[in-house]
């Protein structure tokens, strides 16, 4: 693929997070590279979503370091993560039902009109956002019947597509996807994989949480396995079989932890 | 015979399609309030035709009574849209009428209105800050605030009304008119227009709705949900203050109980107007029409000759019925 020389977008080192007595993350380290897709694997409760939430500013880690483009960053809020170019599609999709597709794509990233006064008041430039929405969705080949329908009127797959489309549109550097195809049919899941490939090809660093080993072998370059909050394996996907991956996840084996 | 198929039902095909589309998209919910307005107006026009319901004076009166309800309803729409509620609005209006009366005597009419609005915004800020920072549901915070504020209002002038003699104040916020149009009616329209534009065309309005629909999702997208909830509660209290100014202008006094009993009326107006009591759906225009409906009801009950006690009972029953009907429709969609 892009080769081992592709630069590091995000590094996590020694990340810890506890919830009362439960240590959800225990000194976890990993790095994401530009133009590469990294799978984050593990059984339920392994700490995958917690890790994603620590990177995207939802949780504050108890210890450890996050570096973006080599610089240490304390990501204190989702807004800060977004302003660093990190976009996340959470397991519970962050879409707002009563707002329409355009409003969801641009939520908290709205264009305003009317100069500085308009910007201060937050006067929405609906026309511009609508036309850019068309471009964003068109570029990603996402088909939505009408941009003006509220999200609640869309199917599960369409909602997912909008959430991913938003992450792709704003995530210039890093996109974190937590089970993005969990609720999708076969064809829609394939479309999501195409989306991930096009993100990778445009140089974005992608982290993909999934339980589906086919998806790992299809689009991922590297796989990191968590088990009970610890990293138990980190491997090149090309070097291992699906059975190996499953063995790492279930704890039957541990892998290369270089 | 052959041409009859299109008009087979009671409605033409185009109308049926339109209805079906409405049902699918958002339900008939947004239109219930207009039907209610027409229905109640028609009903009273027939029942009370000999009691002066349809006279120009009475209709104007309804419009004037609707104004403070409508202004409060617009503010409450934003509180409800953000999934909060403000139960202190009645007492805030009352205190504001006194503050306005006090300030207008000393510093003129602009200061009167400004002082009242500042008091309202300040109370809203306290409501919001406690709700958000101490994590107490807003219905409890604002219920406590209701007591505090009405206590302060009662202390302020020893239960006496404070007369307002500033003619400009009374003209702008009360009895005055521009041509044939009452200034109270103009304020109602202004409140509705501003509220509608803010809800649909400003970033803040969309964020209020987002926070009310799904606070976790809004936070995950980087929206400062604390700030949105606080400012939504500030909006409802400031609007209540302005309603207090309008009440003071209409009656030419400030008094500890002006608007105090409007809370339930306002909530009913907003909910009948299509705003979800639990956040995420809001209609400013609906709230305005709902306010007119509530003002018509009040007026009709008085014209029917009901005693105050019976008016209270009738209004309570009607409000529960009306809200129950609109909530049922909301659950369906």
Domain chopping of chain A, boundaries: 8-93+153-250
For residues A31 and A70, the answer to whether their CB atoms sit within 8 Å is no
Q: pLDDT value at position A4?
A: 53
Residue where the block lists tokens 């702008």: B172
pLDDT of B121 over the 70 cut: yes
pLDDT of B77 over the 90 cut: yes
- Return the H-helix or E-strand segment holding B53: none
Q: What is the mean pLDDT of residues A222-229?
A: 92
pLDDT of A49 over the 80 cut: yes
Nearest alpha-carbon partner for A51 in A36, A37, A66, A70: A66
User: Tens digit of pLDDT for each residue in B248-271?
Assistant: 999 999 999 999 999 999 999 999
CB < 8 Å to B224, chain A: 79
Q: pLDDT value at position B30?
A: 67
The domain B29-332 having CATH identifier 1.10.3470: the answer here is yes
Q: pLDDT value at position B322?
A: 74
CA nearest to B333 within chain A: A152
User: Tens digit of pLDDT for each residue in B2-57?
Assistant: 444 444 455 677 777 766 665 555 556 667 788 888 999 999 999 998 888 999 88
Q: pLDDT value at position B333?
A: 44
For residues A147 and A102, the answer to whether their CB atoms sit within 8 Å is yes
Q: What is the mean pLDDT of residues B97-112?
A: 93
- Return the H-helix or E-strand segment holding B48: none
Output DSSP code: residue A123: B
> For an interface test with A, which of B213, B220, B330 has the most A Cβ atoms less than 10 Å from its Cβ?
B220
pLDDT of B278 over the 60 cut: yes
Question: Is A50 at the interface with chain B, CB within 8 A?
Answer: no
Domain ranges of chain B: 29-332
> For an interface test with A, which of B222, B281, B331 has the most A Cβ atoms less than 10 Å from its Cβ?
B222
**Residue A77 distance to chain B (closest CA, Å):** 7
Q: What is the mean pLDDT of residues B74-99?
A: 97
Joined tokens for residue A254: 């541990």
Q: Which of A147-151, B72-76, B286-290 has the lowest mean pLDDT?
A: A147-151
pTM score, whole prediction: 0.87
> What is the band of B314 on the pLDDT scale with cuts at 50, 70, 90?
confident
Average pLDDT value for chain B? 89
Angle at A11 between CA A10 and CA A14, to 5 degrees: 150
Which class does domain A8-93+153-250 fall in? Answer: alpha beta
Q: What is the mean pLDDT of residues A195-214?
A: 90
Alpha-carbon Rg of chain B, whole angstroms?
21
Percent with pLDDT over 90 in chain B: 69
Phi, psi values for residue B204, rounded to 5°: -60, -40
Question: Is A121 at the interface with chain B, CB within 8 A?
Answer: yes
Question: Is A122 at the interface with chain B, CB within 8 A?
Answer: yes
> Closest to B222 (Cβ–Cβ): which among A92, A108, A124?
A108
pLDDT of B326 over the 90 cut: no
Q: In angstroms, rounded to a whole number, what is the distance separating the alpha carbons of residues B333 and B315?
A: 27
Phi-psi group of A38: left, alpha or beta (phi > 0 → left; psi -120 to 50 → alpha; rest → beta)? beta
Output DSSP code: residue A41: E
Q: What is the mean pLDDT of residues A28-40?
A: 94
């Amino acid at each position: 693929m892009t080769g081992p020389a592709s630069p590091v977008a995000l590094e996590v080192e020694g990340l810890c997070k506890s919830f009362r007595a439960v240590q959800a993350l225990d000194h976890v380290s990993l790095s994401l590279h530009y133009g590469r897709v990294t799978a984050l694997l593990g059984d339920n409760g392994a700490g995958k979503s917690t890790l994603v939430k620590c990177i995207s500013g939802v949780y504050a880690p108890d210890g450890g370091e996050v570096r973006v483009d080599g610089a240490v960053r304390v990501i204190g809020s989702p807004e800060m993560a977004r302003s660093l170019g990190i976009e996340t599609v959470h397991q519970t999709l962050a879409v707002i039902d009563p707002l329409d597709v355009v409003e969801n794509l641009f939520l908290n990233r709205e264009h305003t009109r009317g100069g500085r006064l308009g910007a201060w008041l937050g006067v929405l430039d609906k026309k511009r956002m609508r036309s850019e929405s068309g471009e964003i969705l068109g570029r990603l080949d996402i088909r939505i019947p009408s941009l003006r329908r509220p999200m609640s009127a869309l199917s599960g797959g369409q909602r997912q597509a909008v959430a991913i489309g938003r992450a792709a549109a704003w995530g210039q550097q890093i996109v974190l996807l937590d089970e993005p195809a969990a609720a999708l049919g076969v064809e829609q899941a394939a479309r999501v994989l195409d989306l991930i490939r096009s993100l990778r090809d445009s140089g974005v660093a992608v982290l993909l949480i999934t339980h589906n080993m086919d998806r790992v072998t299809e689009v991922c370059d590297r796989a990191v396995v968590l088990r009970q909050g610890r990293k138990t394996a980190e491997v090149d996907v090309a070097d291992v079989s699906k059975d190996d991956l499953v063995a790492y996840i279930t704890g039957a084996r541990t892998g290369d932890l270089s | 015979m052959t041409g009859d198929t299109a008009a087979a039902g009671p409605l033409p095909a185009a109308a049926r399609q339109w209805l079906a589309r409405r049902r699918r998209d958002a339900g008939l919910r947004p239109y219930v309030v207009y039907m209610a307005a027409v229905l109640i107006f028609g009903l009273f026009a027939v029942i009370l035709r000999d009691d002066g319901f349809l006279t120009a004076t009475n209709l104007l009166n309804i419009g004037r009574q609707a104004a403070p309800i409508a202004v409060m309803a617009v503010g409450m729409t934003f509180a409800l849209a953000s999934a909060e509620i403000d139960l202190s609005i009645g007492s805030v209006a009352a205190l504001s009428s006194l503050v306005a009366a006090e300030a207008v005597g000393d510093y003129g009419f602009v200061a009167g209105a400004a002082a009242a609005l500042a008091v309202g915004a300040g109370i809203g800020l306290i409501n919001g800050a406690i709700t958000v920072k101490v994590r107490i549901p807003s219905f409890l915070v604002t219920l406590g605030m209701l007591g505090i504020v009405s206590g302060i209002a009662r202390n302020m002038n020893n239960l006496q009304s404070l007369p307002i003699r500033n003619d400009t104040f009374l003209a702008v916020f009360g009895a005055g008119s521009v041509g044939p149009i009452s200034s109270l009616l103009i304020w109602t329209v202004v409140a509705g227009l501003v509220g509608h534009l803010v809800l649909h065309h400003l970033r803040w309005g969309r964020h209020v709705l987002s926070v009310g629909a799904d606070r976790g999702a809004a936070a995950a997208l980087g929206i400062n949900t604390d700030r949105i909830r606080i400012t939504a509660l500030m909006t409802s209290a400031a609007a209540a203050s302005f309603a207090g100014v309008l009440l003071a202008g209409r009656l030419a006094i400030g008094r500890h109980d002006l608007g105090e009993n409007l809370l339930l009326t306002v909530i009913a107006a907003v909910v009948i107007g299509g705003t979800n009591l639990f956040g995420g759906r809001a209609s400013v225009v609906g709230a305005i029409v709902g306010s007119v409906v509530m003002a018509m009801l009040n007026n009709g009950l008085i014209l029917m000759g009901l005693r105050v006690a019976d008016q209270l009972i009738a209004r309570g029953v009607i409000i529960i019925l009306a809200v129950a009907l609109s909530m049922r429709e909301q659950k369906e969609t």
